[in-house]
Amino acid sequence: MSKFPFEVQTEEIQPLSVLSPEGEIVNPDMVPDLTDEQLKEIMYRMVFTRTWDDRAINLGRQGRLGFYAPVSGQEASMVGSVYPLQKEDFVVPAYRDMPQIVWHGLPLYQAFLYSRGHQHGGQIPEGVNVMMPQIIIGAQILHAMGIAMGFKLKKQAQVAITYTGDGGSSEGDFYEGLNFAGAFNLPVIFFVQNNGYAITTPFAKQTNAKSIAHKSVAAGIHGMQVDGMDVLAVIKAVQIAAERGRKGEGATLIEALTYRYRPHSMADDTTKYRTKDEEAEWAIKDPLVRFGKYLEKKGLWTEEDTARVKDEAKAKVNEEIKRAEKTEKMTVAGLIDSMFETTPKFLEEQKADFQ
C-alpha cells in the first residue's frame, strides 16, 4: 500500500502592536511612514466616526434609521484598515462596516438611505469602488474573490479587502474564500474584526484554533494578527498585505483583536453575556485615547481639536440625515421596477394594484 506524502505545516503568528495603551511606541521598526497631516487626518476620521456612531444610535431610537450596528471601539480597525488603500482598490464590507465605505468615498447620506431601506442607498456613485454592506453573514467574501480575480486577469496592481467578524469566520463562505484565494493567488485581504463575540457567543466557543489568523495556514496564504485597538499597527498590517497583493504575492488574512463598546445591534443587551470588569479592561485600550495620547506627545492634537471635530461631525450627520429624509419616498411600484430591467407581465399586473 502506497503512503500519501504530506508535510505538516505549522506557523507561529505573533500579534503586531506599535503603540502601548499610554501612546508610547513599542515597536519602532513597524511604525508606518506617515506625515503629520496624515496622522491628524486619521485621528479626525476616528473621532468623527465615534461621534457619528453616537448620533446614529439616537437616530435609530427615534425611528429615523432602520437596522444599525454600532461601531464604537472598533474605529482603529475600521479607519486604519481602509486608510492605506488606493482609490482604485475595492472595499467589500459586512453589515457593521459602513465607516470603511464612507471613508472610501460613499456619501454619508447614502449610508443613511441604506439603513432606511431606500433603493437609492445602494446606488453607488461612479468611481467609488465599494460594495454595499452585506447582511447575510459571510456572503460578501465570495464577492471579493470575483473582484480580486478580475484585478488579476486584467493585470491591475489593485487589491480587494473584505471584512467579517469572528462569527463570520465560522461560515462556509469564509473557508471557500480562503481556499479560492490561495488556489488562485489572488490580490485580496481578508480583514477579520475579532471583537470577542458572535452576537452573544464568546470566541472561546467558536473555534478550537489558536487564532483566526492561524486559519491562513491551511489555505496556503499569509496570516497576520494585529492589535485592532492600535490604529498604527492596523495601518502597517494592511500596508504589508496590500503590497503583497500588488506584487502578485497573493492573499493575506489579518485578524484584528478589537472590542465593540456598544451592543451588537439596537436589539442587543450586553449585560446578558459581558461583565463590567471585562468592559473596563477593554476601555483602557480605547483606540481614540491611545492614538490621541501619541499625537498629543508629538504636539499634533489637543482636547480642543477633539471638541472641534465632534462639533463638525454632529453638524455633518444632521445635514446628511436631513438630506436622506428629504429623498423622495419609495413606492411598491418603484421597488418592483428597481429589481428588473424588463418587468415580467405578472408583476406589471401586481404593480397596477398599488398605483
The DSSP-derived string for 279-348 is: HHHHHTT-HHHHHHHHHHHTTS--HHHHHHHHHHHHHHHHHHHHHHHHSPPP-HHHHHHHH-SS--HHHH
For residue 78, which of 54, 62, 102 has the smallest C-alpha distance?
A: 102
Cα–Cα distance between 175 and 169 in angstroms, integer?
8
Q: How far is CA 4 from CA 7, 10, 70, 182, in A?
A: 10, 19, 49, 22
250-262: average pLDDT: 96
CA atoms within 13 A on the CB side of 168: 29
Question: What pLDDT was estimated at residue 334?
Answer: 82
CATH architecture of 15-329: 3-Layer(aba) Sandwich (3.40)
Is-catalytic flag, 261? no
Share of the chain above pLDDT 70, in %: 97
Specify whether the CB–CB gap between 191 and 217 falls below 8 A.
no
> Which helix (DSSP H) or strand (DSSP E) does residue 175 occupy?
helix 172-184
**Residue range 138-161: average pLDDT?**
98
Instruction: Quote the cell numbers at residue 30.
Output: 513597524
Alpha-carbon span 195 to 257, nearest angstrom: 6
Q: How confident is the model at residue 11 (pLDDT cuts 50, 70, 90)?
A: low
Which one of 50, 260, 274, 290 is the catalytic residue? Answer: 260
Residue 9 has pLDDT above 50, yes or no: no
Task: Please indicate whether residue 116 is annotated as part of the active site.
Answer: no
Report strand pairing: 90-92 vs 197-198: unpaired
- Cβ pair 136, 119 in contact under 8 A: no
- DSSP label at residue 119: G
Asked if the model's pLDDT at residue 3 lies above 90, the reply is no
The answer to whether the CB of 52 falls within 8 A of the CB of 311 is no
What confidence tens digit (pLDDT) does each residue in 299-310 have? 999 999 999 999
d(Cα 253, Cα 194) in Å, to the nearest integer?
A: 12
* pLDDT given at position 355: 72
Kindly tell me the sign of the dihedral angle through the C-alpha atoms of 171, 147, 30, 293: negative
107 SS3 class: coil
Q: What is the DSSP string of 194-236?
A: E-SEETTEEGGGT--SS-SGGGHHHHTSEEEEEETT-HHHHHH
Q: DSSP readout, 12-61?
A: --PEE--B-TTS-BS-GGG-----HHHHHHHHHHHHHHHHHHHHHHHHHH
Q: What is the pLDDT, as a whole number, of residue 332?
A: 83
The full 3-state SS of 67-105, as one line of letters, equals CCCCCCCCHHHHHHHHCCCCCCCEEECECCCHHHHHHCC
Gap between the Cα atoms of 61 and 68, Å rounded? 10
Q: Is the full-model pTM beyond 0.85?
A: yes
Pairing mode, strands 160-165 and 90-92: parallel
**Residue for grid cell 481556499:** 179
Residue 239 has pLDDT above 90, yes or no: yes
264 is annotated as an active-site residue: yes
> What average pLDDT score do residues 175-201 get?
96
What does the pLDDT average to over 331-353? 86
Contacts of residue 259, Cβ cutoff 8 Å, sequence gap at least 6: 73, 74, 195, 196, 229, 282, 285
Active-site choice (55, 96, 244, 264): 264
For residues 99 and 94, give the distance between their C-alpha atoms in angstroms, rounded to a whole number: 11
DSSP 246-280: HTT---EEEEEE---SS-SSTT--GGGT--HHHHH
The pLDDT score that the predictor gives to residue 10 is 53
